[in-house]
Structure 1
Amino acid sequence: MTRPDVVVVGSGPNGLAAAVTLARANLRVLVLEAEPTVGGGARTLDLGLADGVVHDVCSAVHPMAWASPFFRELDLPARGVELLVPDVSYAQPLPGGRAGIAYRDLDRTVEALGVDGPAWRSLVGGDPSTVVRLALGDKRSVPAVSPRRAAHFGLAVLEQGTRAWDRRFLDDVAPALLTGVAAHAISPMPSFAAAGTALLLGTLAHAEGGWPIPRGGSGALTAALVEDLEAHGGTIRTDHRVRGHADLPVAHCYVFDTTPRTLVEVLGDRLPARTRAALEAFEYGDAAAKVDFVLDGPVPWTVPEVGRAGTVHVGGTRAEMARAEATVASGRHAELPMTLVSDPAVVDERRVVHGRRPLWTYAHVPSGSDVDVTEAVTRHIERFAPGFRDVVVTSRCTPAARLSEHNQNYVDGDISAGRASIRQLFARPTWRFDPYFSGRDGVYLCSASTPPGPGVHGLGGWYAAKRVLREFGITTTPSLAP
């Protein structure tokens, strides 16, 4: 292509969202990707574990994609992306042959929780659009929500983010069910970051879109973005790692779908000293290790209803999960680590090939861990699914320390691209009023290290692209409609 107007470094969902937005404004856009395949945290690949069986490399379940204003305007269904919605959004197996079940149907969930049903409805039965506006904004603008609803959400975060988190519950099932969702933040619990995560994702679980799984895998989202980008003249160059300023083609603007660490490595002294120091102070959090399994049948959960869930949080009781996360935060491995599990074949029968099906799991571990957690994960699943070992055909572990080999943004295995803390909820990546501006003219950051944070929603890229458009005198954001 001729000299680009904008170079986007990194092709994760945020980088592609920025690229699509800018290309639709008739700018010449070049995307540089270090890996052989595009998509970052939204890729589906054949790992060679079983003939024809593909695995989601990072994210597998996508409530954020359904809720995201960016993806809504992009209109995924019109682009052939099927978001398959399980009747059970997620489940929490518990000791003693019990389980908490979060049905997409809120009333059914409330009824099943019995004495704690009203408390559940009060916490996660609110208006999903309000929660999305509060949680998925740029953390600088005032969201257009009812002050009463905003106050309700804030008080709920305050309650569930402190030692008052058990105050409203009488039984142990509902609090465990909520804590399993909070654990997606990979942080000590209770904490405000974990509470906000639980209330956002918990509310989306009962929304129309639930916790969907794309047919064929997460790569379907990436394919839709790539198709639109190329249809509007954008270009993608893979196997092009940007290590320094010399690796960047000349362009008017640069958008980095990278961590602050990479931005500093690439630009170095070209960044203002104060900004560089602030970016270097950005903190990375605890980590996840990935275990991909191939099974010859469904997981034999003790409670059969758990097998209907698209996502299963394997951690036991609220106290057990809090203890496991505290152990990880102290730099040690939990004997039974908090483990997230997804069997996409629950809703996507095409993921079963010759009787073999993928099972996606993440286990929380200390930052930089090089431990193979296959046995720990297997043992933990067996606790609630005796006989699990018997359906395992093969497996492969990617320790936390190696996750950055296929995605440089996962520093030491931090799949959130930044610690989940109350400070970094707002100072992400710095306290700058425009969190996407790097401090150097024409250079922007748009990764999960910027607001609204981790998740496949494309919003960091969309918000950053709107800033970039102003550099070209474009004040109207282009439509994303097909």
Structure 2
Amino acid sequence: MRNLEKRDYDAVVVGSGPNGLGAAITLQQAGLSVLVIEGKDTIGGGLRSAELTLPGFVHDICSAIHPLAAESPLFKALPLQEHGLEYITPPVSAAHPFDNGTAAVLKKSVAETARLLGADEESYLQLIKPLVSDWPRIAPSTLGPLTFPNHPFAMARFGLNALTSAELLAKMRFETMEARGLWAGMAAHSIQPLSNITTSAIGLVLMAVGHLRGWPVPKGGSQSIANALASYFVSLGGKIETGTYIQSLQQLPSSHAVLFDVTPKQLLQIAGHKFSSLYQWQLRNYRYGMGVFKIDWALDGPIPFTAEGCREAGTIHIGNTLEEIAASESITAAGLHPEKPFVLLAQQSLFDSSRAPDGKHTAWAYCHVPNGSQADMTSAIEQQVERFAPGFRDRILERHTLNTLQMETYNPNYIGGDINGGIIDIGQLFTRPALRPSPYRTSAKGLYICSSSTPPGGGVHGMCGYHAASRALKDIFGLKPLSLK
């Protein structure tokens, strides 16, 4: 380690979301003294859980199902089980119901998932089987900044499909309603029109990790992931302070490096005066994507889905056909509100009894809306659920909703309700938040950005934090992080 003058801390991390905690752990593991400062009274960012509706009903405020957390190279390298984290894996990762009463399903078995797609069985196998085989080798490159990959041929196989639009890939690969619908629901996690290039990337990743690990639910709520990360960090000697919202660099104790788990808008507010005019311009022109309208329900019983596969799934993609989902996402991106929105729904209490009182259940859902929308999408979402689960409304005991502005109040990183830290289209896939040799470095020495506004973007994986911390370790301290397999 380089001989540096004494400061209050070696590094300070602003924000305790999964990326902030990932950065803090990476720095602390290298032997530094690290402080995490969180603006809210509880840690976690998008990993918080609370009784939002009725006593005894535990709801995930933002993230709910965690395929990327379970397969994150960083999180897999940490002893999080020893710090209370337990995953529960539903038998069906995701189900996609249709108006005819059937559903396409993503199961852990590639062969079984493919067989249930009928005429598209072979096409599915040709697309997904090589990716599942390659994923352990390409995950570190996929979940990181743009660099020359360690396994270039495997990465090229992934990239050829990932860079296409979801609509084009479906046209080239699938002919059945089942395969096309299942694919559309996966790709719609990209939160942009399915006609955009690169929208296939997130769908392919979600399918691959689903086959390798499933889409697990953290027992007790998503807060359990944050608590385990924080517990491990503190066990290494790290320190966490909550209830201090940082608006100025002057609020921070002295340190050699500051890593910000914030988006460009807040970064400009906090430290913009330190940046070059070019970097300021790049941050001001950073683009945020569609927002979300979120509902949590306390239910008198499980959701009565018609399709059996939906009753075994942790996640339900509600949108019927590819064409309907594509239209919904296109309408939303144009600044309008579709009558039949694409809905992502999770039913954690079916598999985790700690989420609700005996015999009762919780459910979690959101739809995409224009950034900053204040429209109440409660009726539209509930109509979509009722469409595939007649009698659903009769089981609602209480509901809790959040529009885009309320989402941003809950977590200031959700600008206009954008939970991905900025749109992840081709213009911001690898250059988020600015075109620089390292996306994690700002133009000011010692200041770094480690949020989902950096590669690889949104999702609970901590890899943005790991890569930002790795950059700071090399730049400031002359150290290397612990390597990830």
- TM-score normalised per structure 1: 0.95
Contact 2:47 2:223 in 1 (8 A): yes
The answer on 1:21 being equivalent to 2:26 is yes
Query: Out of 138, 141, 144, which is 2:145 matched to?
Result: 138
**Contact 1:131 1:200 (8 Å CA) reproduced:** no
Aligned to 1:222, the other structure's residue is in SS state helix
* Partner Cα separation in structure 1 for residue 367 and residue 458 of structure 2: 17
Tell me the SS of whatever aligns to 1:192: coil
The answer for the alignment partner of 2:199 in structure 1 is: 194
In structure 2, runs of 5+ residues without a counterpart are 1-6
- Aligned 1:200-211 pairs, distance under 5 A: 200-207=205-212, 209-211=213-215
Q: 1:470 to 1:132 in 2, by over 3 A?
A: closer
Q: Post-superposition shift, 1:253?
A: 1.1
Distance (Å, rounded) in 1 between the aligned partners of 2:423 and 2:48: 23
Paired AA for residue 379 in structure 2: E
Contact 1:13–1:222 (Cα < 8 Å) also in 2: yes
1:159 Cα offset (Å)? 4.5
2:385: which partner in 1? Answer: 381
Match of 1:129 among 109, 129, 136: 136
Q: CA deviation at 1:313?
A: 0.4
Corresponding residue for 2:224? Answer: 220
1:39-89 CA-partner distances (Å, limit 9, x unpaired): 001111222x11121111111111111111100111333433111111111
Q: Does 1:120 align with 2:127?
A: no
What corresponds to 1:151 in structure 2? Answer: 156
Task: Tell me, in whole angstroms, the C-alpha distance in 2 between the residues paired with 1:359 and 1:15.
Answer: 28
Residue 3 of structure 2 aligns with which residue? none
Give the direction of change, closer, same or farther, for the CA distance of 1:100–1:288 in structure 2 (3 Å limit): same
Contact residue 30 and residue 479 of structure 2 kept, 8 A? no
After superposition, the C-alpha distances for 1:281-303 in whole angstroms (9 at most, x for unaligned) are 11000111110111111110011
The alignment partner of 1:236 has SS state of strand
**AA partner of residue 375 (structure 2):** V
Secondary structure at the aligned position of 2:75 is classed as: helix
Q: Which range moves more in the overlay, 127-136 or 305-314?
A: 127-136
Counterparts of 1:21 and 1:195, CA distance in 2:
31
Equivalent residue of 2:382, what SS? helix
- Tell me the equivalent position of 2:266: 262
Distance 1:16 1:159, change over 3 A: closer
Q: Distance in 1 between matches of 2:282 and 2:384?
A: 40
What is the Cα-based RMSD across aligned positions, in Å?
1.7
Alpha-carbon shift at residue 153 of structure 1 (Å): 1.7
Residue 68 in structure 1 maps to residue 86 in structure 2: no
CA distance in 2, matches of 1:194, 1:281: 22
- From 285, 290, 304, the equivalent of 1:286 is 290
1:6 and 1:28 in contact (8 A); partners too: yes
1:280 and 1:414 map into 2 onto residues whose CA distance is 16
Deviation, 1:218, is 0.9
Contact 2:166 2:184 in 1 (8 A): no
Hey, what's the Cα distance between the residues in 2 that align with 1:80 and 1:122? 39
SS of residue matched to 1:226: helix
Deviation, structure 1 residue 158: 4.3
Match of 1:59 among 43, 59, 63: 63
Letter in 1 for 2:374: D
User: Which of 20, 23, 33 is the aligned partner of 2:38?
Assistant: 33
Q: Which residue identity lines up with residue 39 of structure 2 in the other structure?
A: A
Question: Aligned partners of 1:474 and 1:217: how far apart in 2?
Answer: 38
- Whole-Å separation in 1 of the counterparts to 2:479 and 2:163: 38
Distance 1:354 1:142 in 2: 52
For residue 448 of structure 2, the aligned residue among 434, 444, 447 is 444
Percent pairwise identity? 38
- Which amino acid in the other structure matches residue 430 of structure 2? F
Q: Is residue 2:456 matched to residue 1:473?
A: no
| Partner residue of 2:467 out of 449, 463, 466 | 463
Match of 1:181 among 186, 210, 223: 186
Deviation at 1:470, TM superposition (A): 2.4
C-alpha contact 1:254 1:443 (8 A) present in aligned 2: yes
Matches within 5 A, 1:53-452: 53-125=57-129, 126=131, 127=133, 128-139=135-146, 141-147=147-153, 149-161=154-166, 163=168, 165-207=170-212, 209-452=213-456
Report the alpha carbon displacement of residue 365 of structure 1 after superposing the two structures with TM.
0.6
Q: Which runs of 5+ in 1 are unaligned?
A: none
Query: Which AA in structure 1 matches 2:142?
Result: A
Q: Residue 11 in 1 paired to residue 36 in 2?
A: no
Amino acid at match of 1:426: F
- Structure 1 residue 278: Cα displacement: 0.8
Distance (Å, rounded) in 2 between the aligned partners of 1:159 and 1:444? 31
What one-letter code is carried by the residue in structure 2 that aligns with 1:17?
Answer: G
| Residues 197 and 131 of structure 1: CA distance in aligned 2, closer, same or farther (over 3 Å) | farther
Compare 124-133 and 68-77 and name the one that shifted more.
124-133
Structure 1 CA distance for aligned equivalents of residues 187 and 359 of structure 2:
34
Give CA-to-partner distance per residue, 1:109-168, whole Å, 9 cap, x none. 1111111111112222222324524421222x2222251x33322222345445353122
Which range moved further: 469-478 or 356-365? 469-478
Mark the CA change 1:167 to 1:477 in structure 2 (over 3 Å): closer, same or farther: closer
Amino acid aligned to 1:412: G
Distance 1:154 1:21, change over 3 A: closer
- Secondary structure of the residue aligned to 2:401 is strand
Q: Is the contact made by 1:257 and 1:445 (CA closer than 8 Å) also made in structure 2?
A: yes
Alpha-carbon contact 2:108-2:210 (below 8 Å) kept: yes
Q: Match of 1:370, as an amino acid?
A: Q
2: CA distance, partners of 1:103 / 1:181: 13
In structure 2, relative to structure 1, the CA distance for the partners of 1:164 and 1:366 (3 Å cut) is same
Could you tell me whether the CA contact under 8 Å between 1:50 and 1:356 is conserved in 2? Answer: no
How many residues align? The count is 476
Contact 1:446–1:461 (CA under 8 A) maintained in structure 2: yes
Q: Could you tell me whether the CA contact under 8 Å between 1:91 and 1:101 is conserved in 2?
A: yes
Contact map agreement 2:104 2:309 (CA 8 A) in 1: no
Which secondary structure state, in structure 2, belongs to the residue aligned with residue 89 of structure 1?
Answer: strand
Question: SS in structure 1 opposite 2:477?
Answer: coil
Determine if contact 2:163/2:198 at 8 Å carries over to the other structure. Answer: no
